[in-house]
Amino acid sequence: MSFTEPTALVLLVVPVLLLVWAWQRRSSGLALPFDDQAHAPRRFLGWMLSTFDSMPAIILLAVVFMLAGPQVLRRPSDQRVLTNIQFCVDVSGSMTIGNRYEMAIDAVEDFIDARQGDAFGLTLFGSYAIRWVPLTRDLDAIRNALPFADPQRQPMHMGGTRIGHALQFCLGNIAAEAEAGDRMIVLVSDGMSSDISDASASLALADDLKASNIAVFHVHVGTGSVPGTVQELARETGGEAFVATDRKGLDRAFRYIDQLRPDRFEPGGTVPMDFFMPFALVALSALGLHVIGLFGGRYTPW
């Protein structure tokens, strides 16, 4: 056990002197005219009265120890392992078909609510990638940004679908911004990638992502099948690809992602923690005994 204010322990001299006085003092007694016979010594009564007299000193002892700030090394409860999640959302013109974008951002918001405690970032892409929101634990920053990322608000040069460029862009952002912990990219798109059309390009990008410990999960919101190159890339990084053409499908996809990358907890190191409880219990117990002594164990010699 250690103390944050060890100099306060000097005050222990006062309660120690009070304890010595309570047990060593001898009173002269009280002589009465009719008290003319010898009495046997009542050792138990003397011990009991000295004990009651000691209670204020014991209370003061406990108070001094608490003023000194007692601490012990303890292992805190398991700490949540942070997951850095980068949303990479397609804002090309095709995302306006059938309210795909609106359904996608509603599912993203539900996913964020279920993963409170993680860090989230938002990247928009079409022909080019834009870092819309850097990685942050402020969930309102993501929620408030999503409506302004509407594909209908994007300029003409965002009309393409360069998934490879977008993933490479996210890779650089995560490497620069992510805190310690797991890393993943959630790619939401409805089209074919124009820049990773062959397997070699897909595998090369997958190797770069794996080297940075980033898993890619692709949620394909188009009517067709998942592009083969993107699906292979996701699996190579330890992620998965899903087809979701309606809100229920999107919810299932994000729930599945949550199950594949659940919250993780790990024990933290030992840290000094306050240790007031034993001293507080001693002080309260001594106070209770002192009250009992005042009301039930007072010494009256007549």
The answer on 240 and 117 residing in a single domain is: yes
Would residue 163 count as lying in a domain? yes
pTM of the model: 0.61
* Residues above pLDDT 90, as percent of the chain: 15
Spatial neighbors of 272 by CB under 8 A, at least 6 apart, are: 2, 71, 72, 73, 74
Distance CA 293, CA 297 (A): 4
Q: Give the pairing type, strands 79-81 and 264-266.
A: antiparallel
Q: CB neighbours of 72 closer than 8 A, spacing ≥ 6?
A: 1, 2, 272, 273, 275
Regarding whether 158 and 24 lie in a shared domain, the answer is: no
pLDDT tens digit string along 283-294? 999 888 888 887
Together in a domain, 44 and 152: no
3-class SS of residue 3: strand
* Residues 199 and 257 occupy one common structural domain: yes
Here the contacts of 6-9 (C-beta below 8 Å, separation 24 or greater) are: 6/68, 8/64, 8/67, 8/68, 8/69, 9/64, 9/65, 9/68
Residue 288 lies in domain: 2-28+39-75+270-296
Are residue 137 and residue 190 in the same domain, yes or no? yes
Residue 87, pLDDT score? 92
Q: Which two tokens stand for residue 143?
A: 């929620």
Asked, for residue 187, whether it belongs to a domain, the answer is yes
Say what percent of the chain tops pLDDT 70: 85
For tokens 């929620």, what's the residue?
A: 143
Give me the residue label for tokens 């002269």: 28
Question: Are the CB atoms for 84 and 119 separated by under 8 Å?
Answer: yes
Cite the DSSP H helix spans in 100-246: 100-114, 139-145, 163-177, 199-211, 228-236
pLDDT score for 257:
84
In a domain, 236, yes or no: yes
Please compute the mean of the pLDDT values over residues 66-82 and round it to a whole number: 74
Bridge partners, 83 (sequence order): 182
Judgement on whether residues 184 and 223 belong to the same structural domain of the protein: yes
Burial class (CB in 10 A: 0-12, 13-18, 19+), 195: middle
Clarify whether residues 158 and 225 are in a common domain.
yes
Please report which confidence band the pLDDT of residue 32 belongs to, taking 50, 70 and 90 as the band edges. low
Mark whether 56 and 200 lie in a shared domain: no
Q: Does residue 104 sit within a domain?
A: yes
CATH number of residue 123's parent domain: 3.40.50.410
Both 182 and 251 in a single domain? yes
In a domain, 182, yes or no: yes
* Mean pLDDT, rounded, for 226-231: 86
* C-alpha count within 13 angstroms, C-beta hemisphere, residue 266: 5
Domain assignment present for 34? no
Same domain? 228 vs 286: no
The domain total for the chain is: 2
Please check whether residue 190 is in contact with residue 184, taking contact to mean a CB–CB distance below 8 angstroms: no
CB 151 within 8 A of CB 96: yes
pLDDT at 77 over 60: no
pLDDT of residue 41: 65
- CA-nearest of 107, 67, 63 to 89 is 107
230 with 201, same domain?
yes
CB 108 within 8 A of CB 251: no
**pLDDT for the residue 302:** 43
Q: How far apart are CA 236 and CA 215, in angstroms?
A: 8
* 33: in domain: no
Asked if 113 and 199 sit in the same domain, the reply is yes
Whether 169 has a pLDDT exceeding 90, the answer reads yes
Query: Does 130 or 265 have the greater pLDDT score?
Result: 130
